[in-house]
Amino acid sequence: MTMEYLRSGVLSLLFTAAGIVGTEKRVPEPHLIRKIWKMIEQKRRIVIFPEGGRRWHGRPDPWIESTAKVFMRLGVPVYPVVINGSYVGWPRWATYPRPAHIKVEVHPAIDFSDNPTLESSLDRLKKPISKDENVVSEAVKPKRAFRPISGVTKLLYRDPYTGHFGGLIEQGANRLVQRHGDQSWTMNPDSSLIHDQTGKRVLTADMYESIRTLPFTAANQEALLSNVADVQIIENDQIVRAYRRERISIFKDHLSMAPGFRIPLDEVQYTGLERNNKIWILTPSKRVIATFKYEGSVRAWQDILNRIIPELNC
């Protein structure tokens, strides 16, 4: 589990007592590999989430390839596990959980005795668990939900028809409406949407995919995206500067994260999301964490950065 959950608080105590080991995303951690080897020697069972975190849209995300390499080299059975109902029970973007049944499927162990290539190993590992979590059986589908619409604009951060950022608004307990338009949707307990005008059922994942591929343009001096967030600038694991309610922006060639603090895009090495309101940006010398408490979507920021810095997807 990422270290954010293990640094302090009651959850940290509970997770540590349960034997959960913390990890820093995209940071070399040879000590973590040694811990895994030690647990294997102790005949312990180890659970690893190979996509690195909970899914935002319920569909498979890219794997962390180094995790697959660990699976290949441990020399012990590796069992793919599917957790049915976890996404519809509490999507990552949602504010509140839904009462849902969870069904765990353990598939037969994957065999690496023929020394397969990394690509072949990834195929074997992914196949049993590559499923769309938006589509579940009636046995695990939630039948009711408290304010299911709350938080969905963290995922649906643009109007799919106009392209405007923030163009969709959460209204009441279960309605999504256009800011500038007359279309609206009603959300079911399983997070699917019913178009109020046509009655057509739409998956939030499908609407998100259409949003993610929309073009975006800006004049040379204009920001591609701008929001207000709390910002921490960290060097050598120490917070050196912190700002509240700061205007942060993505431009074509740099990020503006605080007064006088810019990050050239060619220095950005990695971005990561924590929970559903934090994005951290890694450079050769700094780590910047922006917490979105007031407006905007961290998913929008990561999607745009991934599109204008293709290397981040590698």
Burial class (CB in 10 A: 0-12, 13-18, 19+), 23: middle
Mean pLDDT value across residues 65-86: 88
The three-point CA angle 62-215-198 to 5° equals 90
Q: Which residue has the higher pLDDT, 2 or 166?
A: 166
Q: How far apart are CA 153 and CA 169, in angstroms?
A: 7
* Residues contacting 20, CB < 8 A, separation 6+: 1, 6
pLDDT averaged over every residue in the chain: 91
Q: Where are the beta strands (DSSP E) in 167-224?
A: 168-171, 175-178, 184-187, 193-195, 201-202
User: From the CB of residue 247, how many other CB atoms can be counted at a distance below 10 Å?
Assistant: 15
Quick check: 82 and 128 in contact, CB under 8 A?
yes
8-state DSSP, 23: B
Mean pLDDT value across residues 134-155: 94
CA 105, distance to chain mean position in Å, is 23
Q: Which residue has the higher pLDDT, 314 or 50?
A: 50
CA dihedral 41, 19, 21, 125 (to 10 degrees): 60
Q: What is the pLDDT of residues 2-31, one digit of tens each?
A: 777 777 788 888 888 888 888 876 566 778
Phi (first) and psi of residue 150, to 5 degrees: -65, 115
Quick check: 243 and 230 in contact, CB under 8 A?
yes
CA-closest candidate to residue 230, choices 270, 257, 261: 257
Domains and CATH numbers, the chain: 3-129 (no CATH), 152-212 (no CATH), 225-313 (2.30.29.30)
* Residues contacting 256, CB < 8 A, separation 6+: 223, 247, 248, 249, 262
Three-state secondary-structure class, residue 300: helix
Q: What is the pLDDT of residue 313?
A: 62
Q: What percent of the chain is modeled with pLDDT above 70?
A: 97
Q: What is the pLDDT of residue 153?
A: 98
pLDDT of 260 strictly over 70: yes
pTM: 0.90
User: From the CB of residue 49, how many other CB atoms can be counted at a distance below 10 Å?
Assistant: 13
* Residues contacting 288, CB < 8 A, separation 6+: 231, 232, 233, 234, 257, 263, 280, 281
Three-state secondary-structure class, residue 209: helix
- What is the pLDDT confidence band of residue 134, given thresholds at 50, 70 and 90? very high
CA 11, distance to chain mean position in Å, is 20
Three-state secondary-structure class, residue 126: helix
Token pair in block for residue 172 = 């009441």
Q: How far apart are CA 181 and CA 150, in angstroms?
A: 20
